[in-house]
Structure 1
Amino acid sequence: MIYDPARANPLYGNALLSRDDVARAALDLFKPLLPYFSEGGARVRLSAIGAHFDRAAADLEGFARPLWGIVPLAAGGYDFPYWDLYRRGLATGTNPSHSEYWGDISDRDQRQVELAAVGFALAMVPEHIWEPLSDAQKETVASYLLSARDKEFVDNNWKFFRVLIDLGLTRVGVAFDRSKTDRYLDEVEAFRLGDGWYRDGAVKRVDHYIPFAMHFYALIYSVLAKHDVKRGEAYRKRAEVFAVDIRHWFGPDGAALAFGRSQTYRFAAGGFWGALAFAEVEALPWAEIKGYYMRHIRWWSQLPIADRDGVLSIGYGYPNLLMSESYNSAGSPYWALKFFLALALPADHPFWQADEAPAPSFADPVPLKEPGMVAMHTPGNVVVLASGQQHDKMRGANEKYSKFVYSTRYGFNIEADDRHFAAASFDGMLGLSDDGVHFRIRETLEEALIAGDKLYSRWRPWNDVTVETWLIPFNPWHIRIHRIVTPRPLQTTEGGFAIERSDFNSDIAEQDEARAVWRGRNDISAIVDLSPASRRMGHAISPIANTNLIHAKTLLPQLRGEIDNGCTLLAAAVIVMPVSDPRKVSLGPVPTIPDLAELQKSFSSSGTRLALFDAG
């Protein structure tokens, strides 16, 4: 049988139009895991892929993460026929005398992450996972959960994991020290940035952990912690404000903005919309919220996101370890099942009764002050300019956080080899090399500002080289300006957007001085040099395979050149869009470089430093 990528997905063939369709999707995603449950039910080992934590914790991850979808499914009245398996696994995994014991728990332990899903299950459906246990089993499970919540958790979204464990213990009548719960809830307040945004700890970045972790858990708390009315109301109000911004991280086709770490969690990004419904937060009309929610899961249903047996792969648009993090075990992708929280709502809820509404259109660029971004709604896509964020302790962190631009339709590339300057992608980036082999890109930042719908950053690829970058929206184009001060000559490469590559070399490349264009099967991508002095050469390349998040094979326009020591100004206009016939489409008028003195003046008068860069 020939491998069919379209069918490498348990969601394939599901119309995903109704609540019943979504319930079927949750169960279809779970069923491929059944052959991989251990005899005692506590361990789910999906492959030999390793993470930085031990195998027992990874096996617990495979066991626990599906609960994020199973629990709402059951709470909403649907039948889940495998509760006996989960009860058996919970009893054996928490039993130190059993061979499938998950292991003792220490401070900042991966087991704490996964036990949050168990706490969620106890809080939501104790009749399925707790009440049928024997008294001895209940004592064993409670003891294990207490040992987890009494340890220290990582100082970021993990703090909510103690809170979720505690919600479960409270529901089933287990006593514990409530002051530790309150302490973590108070400490989470220090992560707030304003307008509903958080940072994920004392870090200089915001990403999808804000919607699918910080807000997601807070909204669950607002529903289940009925005693804490004050906090619950505050969480609801913040989510209501945040929704107005985060909708600009979703394209008209349902795709989420590919940005930041943990992209392998895939449709967890849409879980925020379900959490709004779960918590009765009509931040937008229910029809719009439902539209964002349903379009998102339908988008994922068309991609080859699973292995041959239907198990979700590590990757994004296809199986891909290059983009993964050290904490991704084979069970990690099942955080995607957080998407299904809305299933806990009854069929007659206004969310489920609403007809889907399309995403509203936005003709003007939309500044997003807290993350330091500007969103442009272009045809079939949302392009997000980024002033730059930081994560210096992760593979691919610079590509995940520090590119100049990100996209819902085109994703981004991860560089495959930092010792091969000539073959690097540099999509949405400026690459610099002083030896023609190794290269530097924007990583850490000295300054990041937003002024209206324009962005500025200052960064040092080397200690003695300074780059100032300005980003200006010019829908559907955007303009990049770089002022580089260097004591030695440098080679430079700057990339546009990567688009899907067709088979049989049927795509059309155009490359000459100051310009590179790719006309693909469904998209056109171009970069045009606007540098006031010497012009760079256009190069239309096909990047190393499996470097893009969405497509295994891509095409990319670049500008390449050399600069002398001293001060050099580089500028480019960049565009990408889906088109019906790329061969016949004209790029239209190319925007011109704005006056740099006026641009600097606007930042001097109204530029605002990004609050997230004040983190410790």
Structure 2
Amino acid sequence: MIYDPTKANPLSGNPLKTRDDLSKAVIDLFKPLLPYFSEGGARVRLSATGAIFDRAAADLEGFARPLWGIVPLAAGGGHFPHWNLYRRGLANGTNPAHPEYWGDLADRNQRLVELAAVGFALALVPEHIWEPLSDGEKRTVAAYLLAARELEFIDNNWKFFRVLIDLGLERVGVAFDHGKTVAYLDELEAFDLGDGWYRDGPVRRVDHYIPFAMHFYGLIYTVLARGDEARKNRFRNRAEIFAGDIRHWFGPDGAALAFGRSQTYRFAAGGFWGALAFAGVAALPWAEIKGYYMRHIRWWSAMPIADRDGVLSIGYGYPNLLMSESYNSPGSPYWALKFFLPLALPQDHPFWTAEETSQPEFPAPIALKPAGMVAMHTPGNVVVLSSGQQHDKMRDANEKYSKFAYSTRYAFNIEADDRNFSAASFDGMLGLSDDGVHFRMRETMDEAQIAGDRLYSRWRPWNDVTIETWLLPANPWHIRIHRIATPRALSTIEGGFAIERADFNADRSEHEQGRAIWYGQTDVSAIVDLSLHLRTGHAMTPIPNTNLIHAKTLLPQLRGEIGPGSTLLVTAAIALPIHENWTMALENPPAPPDLGELERHFRAEGVSVPAFTLSM
């Protein structure tokens, strides 16, 4: 049999237009898990791959994460036929005397994460998962949850997990001291950056954890918590403001911006739009909110995101361990089911009765100041220029946070071999090497500023090499300026956008002094040198399975050598769908900006990127 990618997705064939379609999607996503439940129902082990935490915690993850979709389905009146399995698993997993016990709890432990889904279930559908338990089972479950809430949670969105556990305990009448709940809520609010944005802890980054965690859980709190009206109003108000910005992380086809860690959670990225509906926050017209929401899940329905048996894989657009995090177990992808939160709403809710509208047009660049980003809507795509994000304690953090440009249509590549400079992609990035083998790129920064719709950063790939980078929108192009001060000679490679590669060498390329272009079957990608001394264009074929969306890609690059002293590199990059008027765009690249004028502009208007401004 030939592998059929449409069968590698339980959503395939579902029109995903209505509430009933989404209810069916939850069941279709859950069914492939049934053979992997343990006899006692407490553990779900989906493959032999591992994560940094123990197997029991990973098995709990496989058990708990589907609840994010199952619970709203049931709360909204949908039929889920396997509640007995979940009740049995909950009773056994929390029982230290049972062979399927989930294990003892500890500070900052993965079990604390997964128990938030149990708290959510107790809070929203206790009639299905709590009330049928025996008195002894209730005592066992309650004791486990009470022990969990007393522990230390990581200083980021994890603090919401104690809050969710507490919402469940409160709903089922289990007494506890609310002091720790309030303390964590206060600490979570201290992550507020203004303009609706949060940090995800004391860090220099704002990624998808802001919409699908910080706002998502905060909006759940506004519905399920008793009292605390002032705080709930703050959560709602921040979400309302944030919606106007985060819509620029979604392309017109529904694709979300692939940026940051935990991309394997896939359509959890669209959960923010559903959380707005759940909390009744009409941040935008319901028709627009629904459009962002439904287009997103339809985009995912066309991707080969599951294994042959329909189990969601670790990966993004296809199974791919290379891009995964150390904390991604086989059950991790099922956080994607957070997307289905609005199934808890009745059919006649205005979110469900609204007719979808398409994404509005945004002809001008959009500054997302708190994040240090500038969004640029191009045909079929949103390009986001970025300076002010970093994560120095994660594999592939350079690629996930520190590239110059990210895109909803052209996802980023990760580097597969850091000892093969000539085989590196450097899409949306400048790579440098002082030995022709090993390489460096932007990872952490000394400074990050935004001035209107322009960005600046100063970074050091080595302690004795300083690079200043300016990023400018020039729709549909963008411009990068790099001023490099180095005491020794360096080799450089700079990449454009990665596009899908066809079989049988059906794509064609052009590469010459000063530019490189790939003409793919669906898209065109080009990079042009605007420097005084031109680099050599190179039509690069990246290592397979390094791009998040496409297993095989094409990438235009500029390659050159620089000597000791100060060097100025100026680059323009573009990618467009093949059906767009790409010929005119390629024939009219932008002119190089005046660097002196640009520096004066930043001296007059530049401010530190809020996400970056943090005492480390």
Q: TM-score range by the shorter chain?
A: over 0.9
Partner amino acid, structure 2, of 1:49 = T
Give 1:390's aligned residue: 390
Task: Give the CA deviation at 1:388.
Answer: 3.7
Give the TM-score normalised by the residue count of structure 2: 0.99
Is the 1:521–1:582 Cα contact (8 Å) retained in structure 2?
Answer: no
Flag structure 1 segments of 5+ consecutive residues without an equivalent: none
Establish whether residue 565 from structure 1 lines up as the match of residue 564 from structure 2. yes
**Structure 2: distance between partners of 1:516 and 1:388:** 28
Task: Give the CA deviation at 1:26.
Answer: 0.9
Is the 1:579–1:585 Cα contact (8 Å) retained in structure 2?
Answer: no
**Structure 2: distance between partners of 1:58 and 1:88:** 18
Is the 2:265–2:334 Cα contact (8 Å) retained in structure 1?
Answer: yes
Task: Give the CA deviation at 1:580.
Answer: 2.1
Aligned-residue sequence identity (percent) comes to: 76
**Structure 2: distance between partners of 1:247 and 1:296:** 11
Q: Deviations over 1:544-584 (max 9, x none)?
A: 00000000000000000000000000011110011228997
Q: What aligned pairs does 1:276-315 form with structure 2 within 5 A after superposition?
A: 276-315=276-315
Q: What aligned pairs does 1:399-414 form with structure 2 within 5 A after superposition?
A: 399-414=399-414
Give 2:358's aligned residue: 358
Q: Deviations over 1:438-482 (max 9, x none)?
A: 000001100000000000000000000000000000000000000
Task: Give the CA deviation at 1:137.
Answer: 0.1
Establish whether residue 243 from structure 1 lines up as the match of residue 243 from structure 2. yes
Give 1:548's aligned residue: 547
**Structure 1: distance between partners of 2:594 and 2:6:** 48
Task: Give the CA deviation at 1:226.
Answer: 2.8
Partner amino acid, structure 2, of 1:381 = N
Task: Give the CA deviation at 1:228.
Answer: 1.6
**Structure 1: distance between partners of 2:318 and 2:6:** 10
Q: Deviations over 1:506-547 (max 9, x none)?
A: 101000000000000010000000012x21000001100000
Q: Deviations over 1:204-231 (max 9, x none)?
A: 0000000000000000000001312111
Partner amino acid, structure 2, of 1:398 = N
Is the 2:388–2:457 Cα contact (8 Å) retained in structure 1?
Answer: yes
Give 1:135's aligned residue: 135
The secondary structure found in structure 1 opposite 2:321 is coil
**Structure 2: distance between partners of 1:585 and 1:344:** 49
Partner amino acid, structure 1, of 2:446 = E
Task: Give the CA deviation at 1:2.
Answer: 1.3
**Structure 1: distance between partners of 2:586 and 2:603:** 34
Give 1:44's aligned residue: 44
The secondary structure found in structure 1 opposite 2:183 is helix
Give 1:64's aligned residue: 64
Is the 1:520–1:582 Cα contact (8 Å) retained in structure 2?
Answer: no
Partner amino acid, structure 1, of 2:346 = P
| Number of positions where the alignment pairs a residue of Structure 1 with one of Structure 2 | 615
**Structure 2: distance between partners of 1:313 and 1:83:** 25
State the Cα RMSD in Å: 0.9
Partner amino acid, structure 2, of 1:361 = E
Give 1:451's aligned residue: 451
**Structure 2: distance between partners of 1:310 and 1:331:** 13
**Structure 2: distance between partners of 1:589 and 1:470:** 21
Establish whether residue 587 from structure 1 lines up as the match of residue 586 from structure 2. yes
**Structure 2: distance between partners of 1:448 and 1:586:** 30
**Structure 2: distance between partners of 1:561 and 1:363:** 35
Q: What aligned pairs does 1:429-440 form with structure 2 within 5 A after superposition?
A: 429-440=429-440
**Is the alpha carbon distance of 1:338 and 1:315 closer, same or farther for their aligned partners in structure 2, counting shifts above 3 Å?**
same
Give 2:600's aligned residue: 601
Task: Give the CA deviation at 1:152.
Answer: 0.6
**Is the alpha carbon distance of 1:594 and 1:229 closer, same or farther for their aligned partners in structure 2, counting shifts above 3 Å?**
same
**Structure 1: distance between partners of 2:150 and 2:226:** 23
Q: What aligned pairs does 1:79-118 form with structure 2 within 5 A after superposition?
A: 79-118=79-118
Task: Give the CA deviation at 1:588.
Answer: 2.9
**Structure 1: distance between partners of 2:117 and 2:249:** 26
The secondary structure found in structure 2 opposite 1:210 is helix
Flag structure 2 segments of 5+ consecutive residues without an equivalent: none
Partner amino acid, structure 2, of 1:11 = L
Partner amino acid, structure 1, of 2:89 = G
**Structure 1: distance between partners of 2:410 and 2:302:** 15
**Structure 2: distance between partners of 1:578 and 1:279:** 37
Give 2:217's aligned residue: 217
**Structure 2: distance between partners of 1:583 and 1:160:** 47
**Structure 2: distance between partners of 1:212 and 1:581:** 33
Q: Deviations over 1:273-312 (max 9, x none)?
A: 0000000000000000000000000000000000000000
Give 2:28's aligned residue: 28
Partner amino acid, structure 1, of 2:178 = R
**Structure 1: distance between partners of 2:531 and 2:467:** 15
Q: What aligned pairs does 1:245-284 form with structure 2 within 5 A after superposition?
A: 245-284=245-284
**Structure 2: distance between partners of 1:488 and 1:23:** 61
Give 2:612's aligned residue: 613
**Structure 1: distance between partners of 2:169 and 2:289:** 32
Q: What aligned pairs does 1:384-533 form with structure 2 within 5 A after superposition?
A: 384-532=384-532
The secondary structure found in structure 2 opposite 1:503 is coil
The secondary structure found in structure 1 opposite 2:488 is coil
Is the 2:380–2:409 Cα contact (8 Å) retained in structure 1?
Answer: yes
